[in-house]
Every structure is written in C-alpha cells, then in structure tokens.
Amino acid sequence: MDKMPKWADVILIPLISLILAAILSTLVILAIGENPVEAVNLMVTGALGSTYGWGYTLYYATNFMFTGLAVAVAFHARLFNIGGEGQAMLGGLGVAMVCLYVPWPHWSIALLAAMAAAMLFGAAWAAIPAYLQAKRGSHIVITTIMFNFIAAALLNYMLVIVMRPAGSQDPATARFPEAVHLPTLHEMLAPIGINFSKAAPANISLIVALLACVVVWALIWRTRLGYEIRAYGHSETGAVYAGISPVRITIVAMLISGALAGLMAINNVMGEAERLVLNSTEGAGFIGIAVALMGRSHPFGVFLAAILFGFLYQGGAELALWTSIPRELIVVIQALVILFTGALDNMVRMPLEKLFLALRKEAN
Amino acid sequence: MTVPAIELKGISKAFGPVQANKDISISVAPGTIHGIIGENGAGKSTLMSILYGFYKADKGEIWINGKKTDIPDSQAAIAAGIGMVFQHFKLVENFTVLENIVLGAEDGGLLAPSLAKARKELKDLEQEYELFVDPDKRIDEIGVGMQQRVEILKALYRKAEILILDEPTGVLTPAEADQLFRILDRLRAEGKTIILITHKLREIMEATDTVSVMRRGQMTATVKTAETNPEELAELMVGRKVLLRVDKVPAKPGKPILEIENLRVTDSSGVERVKGIDLTVRAGEIVGIAGVAGNGQSELLEVLGGMRPGSGTIRMNGVPLALSGPGSDGQARRAQGIAHVPEDRQREGLIMDFHAWENVAFGYHRDPAYQRGIFMDNAALRADTERKIEKFDVRPPNGWLSAKNFSGGNQQKIVVAREIERNPDLLLVGQPTRGVDIGAIEFIHKQIVALRDQGKAILLVSVELEEIFSLSDRIAVMFDGHIMGERLPHETDEKELGLLMAGVAGEAA
C-alpha cells in the first residue's frame, strides 16, 4: 500500500516545504530590520504585477525549464547531472556559431539550426562524463562538475581569443545579425491585440520549452527508451536481467540531458542577449537541479517549479532594486526554497506519512 | 506450575491499515524450545521485533520470568536477558570473532581489558555449550555455520537466558543445520529458553517442544509438537488443506535442449565461481541444482540468462550461444527461447516501483506486440496484464498497483506468469518459492510441472532441498563451482545429497 495519496506527494509536500521556506525567509527579513509584508508585496508586483514583470519571470522560467528537464531526464536513469551549467554554456557557443557564421534568410530556419547546434554542443559536452561513467565508473557528479569549470575556461578562451570582434574590449561575440532575431512575446502577442511589454526578454523559446516538456513526458512515459531509462534508474540489476545495457542507457540518458541543457541557449543567447557573453548562463544550470527536485522529475512539475523559480529570480531582482534588502538575501531566500524542497524533503514527508497512516487507521 | 520465561498477553500491532499482530498471547516455559511457524507476512517477525524492542506494541503486555517488563529498545531487551540471532547476521566482516563478540559490550575506553575478559569468558562458554570457534579468525575467513555460532555466542556473552532465532537454517547445509539443532539441544539442557522462528515444517517437527502457528497476524494454535504432524500444521498455517507433495507423472525426457560443456564463470572481483561444469537439460524434464547458497549456482543461472559473461560452450537446441560480448545479453537469450525466473525477484525480476502492467513487459518490452509506432502500446500491455493476472490468480487483481504493493507470493506469480506465458523452450528458475507463502508455492510448482509436461526443458536452482526433491526429475549437486554428482530423486536421500552439498566426493558418499 502506498503510504499516502498521490496528491499529497505531488502537491502537499512541495507546498508545505514552500511555506516553511517562506516562514524562515520572513524571519530573516525581520532580523535585518525590513518589513516582510512589504517585501513580499514588492516581489509579487515586481514579478507578476505587470507584463514587464511577467516577461522577465517567464524568461527566467524558460531557462529553468530546459535545465530542469535536463536534470530530470538524468534523474530517471539515476544519474545526477550537475553539469547543466557547462552544457548550457557550450550550447551557447553552438548557437553563437550558427548565428554568426551562417547567413540566415529567416529567424525560423535560424532557430531550427540553432536548436540543433545547441543540443549537439550540449550533448557533446555531456558525452565525455557519460562515457567515463559508463565505461570507467568515474562518478558522474565529479566529472560533470569538473566539466563546468572546463566549459567556463573554454568559453573564456573562445570569447577572448577567437570570437571577440577586432577592436572590442569586451569578452563577447559580435551582435547577431538582425535576421536571426527571435520574436519576443511582445511581437508575438501584438497581432492578437495583447499589449505585452516591449522591454521584457521572454521570447518564442518559451514555446520551445513548453514543447520540450511535452516531448520529455512522452519520451519518459510513452516510449520504449523511456521505459528502459526508468527501469535502469530503479534497478541496475533489474536492467541487466531484462537485457537493458547499463552502458547504453547511461550514455543515451546523459546525451539527452546534455542536449536539453544546451537547448537553453536559444533563450538566453539567441533570444535575449543576441550575442554570446561570459557567464551568459547565470547559474541556471544549477537552478535546474532544484527545479527537477521540486518538480519530482516530472515535466509538469518541472514546468511549475520553473515558473516558481522564475518568480523568485525576477521578484528578487526587484527587491534588490527597490529596497535596502541586499542582493545576497535574495540568494538566501532562493537557497531556503531549494533547501526545503530538495534537500529536506524527508523532513516534511515523514511526519506527513505518519499523519496519513493515522488518518487511515481512524477511518477503518 | 513453573513461571513462564516469556509471556505475551494480548499483543496487537498495526502498521497503518495492516494489522500485523492481533491480540496475540503466548506463554513459553523455561528450558524449552518453542517454535513459531507461519507463512511470510503472518506476523512472526513483527511479534519478535516487539519482544526485542524494535517496535512498540499498540496494546498488550510482555512478562519476563513472571515480571511485567517494558521493552522500549533492544538495550532493554538485552538487559531483560533476551538475545536475538537474525536471519541476516549482524557481524562486522573484517573484525575478528572476538572483536565482534565484544562490539557494543565493551567496558571502559580501552579495548584490551575488554578483549582479554571476553577471551576468558568465551573459553568458559565454549566449554559449557560446546560452541567451538577460533576467536582470532576474521569473520570473512569463517563459514556461514561458524558465523551463526558467533551470533549465538554474542547473545550468550550478553547473558541471554532467552534466545530468539529467526529462520536460522536458511543459509546452512543440512549437516550444518543438524549441528545447529544439537547446539540448541545443549542450550536447552543448560536451562536456556529458545524461540525458533521458521517456515520449514521439518525443523519444527525435529527441534521444538511446543509450536505456535500464526496466520494473518493471529495466533491460530499452540500445540505440543509431539501431538501434531506436518499436514495439520500446514493446514493451520494456510487455513485450508494443502498438498505438500507435488503431483506429477514421470518425466518423458526428449532431445537435449540445453547442453553445457566446460562452463567457467569468473565474477567481477576475479574469483572463479563456476569451475568447468557439464550439464544437459532435455525437453520435458526438470533438472534441479541443489547446493548451499554461494556455490556457483547463481552464477550459472546468470550466464544462462545473459546477465554475466562466461567461457566454455553452451548450446541451445544445438546452436552455440555467445557467452560474452554482443549477442550475450538478456534480450538475445529471450530471442533464443530462454525464459528466466531470477533468484531475486525484487532486485532483478521486477521493478518494484513499476506498475504490475509495466512489469508484465519487463524484459519483453521490445516485443512488437507491445509497440505502436514510436510509442509503447500501453493499452495492449494492460490488456495482456489483465489476462495474466486472471490466469495466474494474482491478488489483488489490480494491474495498476506497484509491484512492491503485492505480497511476495503474488510478486512471484507475476514473474512466473510473464516467463511461462512466453512459451519458452527452456525455463530457468531460481529460488522460485523463496519468501513465498505455501498456497502460492503449490500454485507455482504446478505451473512449472505443467510447463514440463508440455515438453519444455526446465533448469531449477533452489537451496530448499524439499523443493529440489519434489520438483526435479534429475538432481545435480553443486559445490564450490563443481557439479559433485547427479542423482535421480528416488534413488537418493537428503543425507546423501547433504554430503555432496558439503563437498564430500561423489561415489564415496
């Protein structure tokens, strides 16, 4: 018998975790002498009170959907891919090359090519740790995190030495040509009479991210490969019994994971910055871990968690802008949410399970 | 009348909706061996865990030697003179016997005095109970039977007057089991009280003075062992008449299906587990591999099932199988007509978190019948599951439950249904009834025999000699990676097989 109903597992536990994180955050804000009510107010209006706020919230959420899905797919094969950051950086490199070095007639074709490049570069970056894990038993957590540093160094080199336009002092590529400009939500919604903020960076990548959620869902729960990935994730000995190759699944799952992380670059590099800069990923690869944890590795959960973290990012930025609450505190609040929803899952889960068991006994 | 060593009064314990123990009362006289028998999930282990302080009873009282005693944790149980020998030993492998015995009962911060004291006491205990072990051997250097003695000594060192043994013979050869029972006799003679938990009727009949039968959390009967018989006990356990012997007609062996020649298997740490065996299994016969766990039988099954590489020759219907590299995995084996009920259904045969209907495809999930375009045809899978659940009487008949929510017997039925319904030429069966209740054992045995009667070859590996005897048409005994000999079940007995299992060579036995 399951210990508690499914709705409690997928809704109640994250909700309680969030409330706990909120309570603790309130205490922290009180402790530095600020008004928590005002702070929440500011965050909500800042992130959700205008199409401008929504535009940023959804922009961040798009990043997190990609990286969250990346971590989630790897989780299903019981692989902990914390290299999303590096894979996304490499994805950015692929996107920049496609956008800069090929003359594109239309953004739509450029987008398809950029997606392919982003996935290819991201997957390639995940392939080496995947191979080392599958064939040599090098722990994927160690290798992927080291590959983040290598990716940063590689990007540094590419931007400073190779791709920086002559005469520029800025370690960044040239601006992408106008032809590869992706439609923003403003441009997409204007024809149907919705006036969305022009300044907000949310763009058509959001649609791609939503599609990616659906595709990942179908992959994991509807295809043979997804079946094999989940089986391997639950039991390696079981997989061997069934003739599912652990080597193959490890590599394939990591390639998909890396491709999804790389795909993020169409949002932040092609959609927003329209050039490749240093630190373009802004830690989204790591947030993806929290998003996947909170979303229970389910694409729909990842979608919701990504929106939540998008809200925290944008609301946090507003908070830093308009109050004397330091930027670091925002990081603390985000960390608390990660801590409670990810790391301290059992703290909420165990008492809740007991409660449900007691309730059920009562009912009998 | 003497005061009972242990008296449990009205013990009840529920885990959520499951009533594991319901109003259980039992009284154990001092200086006796009291058996507790019941199917898996009958509540034996829960009851003993309450007595040993792992769980707290919802209701009821524990009386030790006529005194009402609270046992909130295992420390209190030890203080009350209760010692427990678990089914899976709790020993530190790279510690010596002596260190293991002292572990947790050291006095003072320095180890040397405790060890010296323990060495002396151990000598006394050895003399008193004839429990000989070498105190300076490391645990990983001594055999399982010895390890069990260390567990018993551990309990005695902590001044246990009451000893609980949980399924103590599961890992022993028949000879080792006999030795254990002699030790228990000796302990009883010295006035210790022993509770023996087992699901084996034979042991109850051999070793105990009194026996209590548990079924579905309740104590259904307590009888003097001398006044009962296995059939009656089985009926009390299951709640209906059961067939202890498998009904089967003599085998009609046909052409060889599986031929093994000079098969060698080396495990991942480089130890040779199977050391050149030859074996043939014919159509229409069940060949049983007897042996104490860990003598290469598992590895043999795993090579045949495509789970690990080997070397030598294996022919299936005359066609040589790849034993390593491409074409040697489980998918290839299935394609060659080999179905496999693995030894460990929880780690291998099933994905415990998958729905029953997902598990019904496990291993055969690439079957075109389960595909629709690029997707899996989940509807077809569920329909197939419903059919199998009905045919194999899986309870509860709900394909949406996760595998972990079925009882051991019903989990095994799912595996057996999946493999047998593939109509394989060769069925590999490992420990088909481990952790399976008597009712399901009867059913699973019938299915295996039915498959044989359809002219299929069956290779059975089991550590339960009774099972080997009742199912096999031919018995091969494995010891230390070798086949010690082959016997026909009606021409041999447990004693002879026991000697072979202990490595005493063939014809001399």
pLDDT in tens, A120-139: 999 999 999 999 999 999 99
Domain ranges in chain A are 56-295
A4 CB contacts (<8 Å, ≥6 apart)? A352, A353, A356, A357
For residues B222 and B248, the answer to whether their CB atoms sit within 8 Å is no
Position A3 scores a pLDDT of: 65
Which residue from B16, B307, B405 is facing A241, i.e. has the nearest CB? B307
- Tell me which of A236 and A325 has the higher pLDDT: A236
How large is the average pLDDT for residues A18-39? 89
Which residues of chain B make contact with A228, given a CB cutoff of 8 A? Answer: 365
How large is the average pLDDT for residues A289-314? 92
Position B449 scores a pLDDT of: 96
Rounded to a whole number of angstroms, the distance from the CA of A109 to the nearest CA of chain B is 26
How large is the average pLDDT for residues A206-216? 98
Helix (H, G, I), strand (E, B) or coil at A184: strand
Which residue from A234, A241, A357 is facing B330, i.e. has the nearest CB? A241
Distance from C-alpha of B15 to C-alpha of B27, rounded to nearest angstrom = 24
**Closest chain A residue to B328, measured at CA:** A243
Position B104 scores a pLDDT of: 82
∠ at Cα A324 (A317, A59), nearest 5°? 5
Which residues of chain B make contact with A240, given a CB cutoff of 8 A? Answer: 307, 329-330, 348
Distance from C-alpha of B403 to C-alpha of B209, rounded to nearest angstrom = 39
* pLDDT tens-digit readout, B354-366: 999 999 999 999 9
Which residue from B331, B347, B376 is facing A243, i.e. has the nearest CB? B331
Tell me the average pLDDT of chain A: 92
Position B508 scores a pLDDT of: 42
Residue A3 and residue B363: Cβ atoms within 8 Å? no
Position A265 scores a pLDDT of: 97
How large is the average pLDDT for residues A226-233? 97
Q: Tell me, what CATH number does B484's domain have?
A: 3.40.50.300
Residue B365 and residue A222: Cβ atoms within 8 Å? no
Position A323 scores a pLDDT of: 80
Task: Locate B504 and state its tokens.
Answer: 């005493």
**Closest chain B residue to A243, measured at CA:** B330
- Write out the H or E segment, with its range, that includes residue A353: helix A345-363
Place of tokens 């009883």: B188
Which residues of chain A make contact with B16, given a CB cutoff of 8 A? Answer: 1, 3, 357, 360-361
Residue B350 and residue A234: Cβ atoms within 8 Å? no
Which residue from B307, B361, B405 is facing A240, i.e. has the nearest CB? B307
Residue B454 lies in a domain: yes
- Tell me which of B20 and A190 has the higher pLDDT: A190
Task: Locate A280 and state its tokens.
Answer: 């373009």
Share of chain A above pLDDT 70, in %: 98
| Phi-psi category of residue A255: left, alpha or beta, with phi > 0 → left and psi -120 to 50 → alpha | alpha
Same domain (yes/no): B101, B160: yes
- The domain of B75 spans 6-238
Helix boundaries (H) for chain A = 6-7, 13-31, 36-48, 51-76, 84-101, 107-131, 140-157, 185-189, 205-222, 224-234, 236-241, 246-263, 265, 284-294, 299-322, 327-338, 345-363
**Residue B506 above 60 pLDDT?**
no
Side chain identity at residue B375, one-letter code: F
CB of B365 within 8 Å of a chain A CB? The answer is: yes
Position B103 scores a pLDDT of: 87
CA distances from A27 to A21, A33, A34, A311, B327 (A): 10, 10, 10, 20, 62
* Res. A361 pLDDT band, cuts 50 70 90: low
Side chain identity at residue B153, one-letter code: L
Rounded to a whole number of angstroms, the distance from the CA of B374 to the nearest CA of chain A is 7
* pLDDT tens-digit readout, B310-322: 999 999 999 999 9
- Greatest mean pLDDT range, A58-67, A313-322, B167-176: A58-67
Position B332 scores a pLDDT of: 96
Domain count across chain B: 2
Same domain (yes/no): B273, B212: no
Which residue from B15, B329, B402 is facing A245, i.e. has the nearest CB? B329
Least confident of A358-362, B121-125, B282-286: A358-362
Least confident of A97-106, A286-295, B374-383: A286-295
Task: Locate A45 and state its tokens.
Answer: 């209006």
Rounded to a whole number of angstroms, the distance from the CA of B189 to the nearest CA of chain A is 45
Least confident of A5-14, B188-197, B399-408: A5-14
Residue B380 lies in a domain: no
CB of A219 within 8 Å of a chain B CB? The answer is: no
How large is the average pLDDT for residues B272-280? 95
Residue B330 and residue A240: Cβ atoms within 8 Å? yes
Residue B405 lies in a domain: no
Residue A237 and residue B344: Cβ atoms within 8 Å? yes
Radius of gyration of chain B (CA): 24
CB of A350 within 8 Å of a chain B CB? The answer is: no
How large is the average pLDDT for residues B153-178? 86
Place of tokens 């998003």: A291
Tell me the average pLDDT of chain B: 90
Side chain identity at residue B132, one-letter code: F
For residues B222 and B191, the answer to whether their CB atoms sit within 8 Å is no
Residue A238 and residue B17: Cβ atoms within 8 Å? no
Q: For A36-51, give one letter per residue: b (16+ CB within 10 A) or e.
A: beebbebbeebbbeeb
Rounded to a whole number of angstroms, the distance from the CA of B429 to the nearest CA of chain A is 13
Task: Locate A148 and state its tokens.
Answer: 């983040």
Position A364 scores a pLDDT of: 60
Position B222 scores a pLDDT of: 92
**Residue A1 above 80 pLDDT?**
no
Position B243 scores a pLDDT of: 65
Indicate yes or no: pTM above 0.90: no
* Res. A2 pLDDT band, cuts 50 70 90: low
* Res. B129 pLDDT band, cuts 50 70 90: confident
- Tell me which of A6 and B229 has the higher pLDDT: B229
CB of B358 within 8 Å of a chain A CB? The answer is: yes
Task: Locate B453 and state its tokens.
Answer: 């009667």
Distance from C-alpha of A211 to C-alpha of A216, rounded to nearest angstrom = 9
DSSP A61-110: HHHHHHHHHHHHHHHHTT-----HHHHHHHHHHHHHHHHHHS--SSHHHH
Position B377 scores a pLDDT of: 95
Number of inter-chain CB pairs under 8 A, A vs B:
80
Least confident of A248-252, A315-319, B13-17, B335-339: B13-17
Which residues of chain A make contact with B363, given a CB cutoff of 8 A? Answer: 241-243
Distance from C-alpha of A238 to C-alpha of B307, rounded to nearest angstrom = 10
B504 CB contacts (<8 Å, ≥6 apart)? none
Rounded to a whole number of angstroms, the distance from the CA of A278 to the nearest CA of chain B is 40
**Residue B509 above 60 pLDDT?**
no
**Closest chain B residue to A240, measured at CA:** B307
Same domain (yes/no): B324, B206: no
> What would the 3-class secondary structure string for B158-221 be?
CCCCEEEEECCCCCCCHHHHHHHHHHHHHHHHCCCEEEEEECCHHHHHHHCCEEEEEECCEEEE
Residue B15 and residue A218: Cβ atoms within 8 Å? no
Helix (H, G, I), strand (E, B) or coil at B459: strand
Same domain (yes/no): B317, B466: yes
**Residue A58 above 50 pLDDT?**
yes
Is the alpha carbon torsion for A297, A298, A301, A307 positive or negative? positive
**Residue B476 above 60 pLDDT?**
yes
Residue B215 lies in a domain: yes
CB of A354 within 8 Å of a chain B CB? The answer is: no
**Residue B294 above 70 pLDDT?**
yes
Position A51 scores a pLDDT of: 93
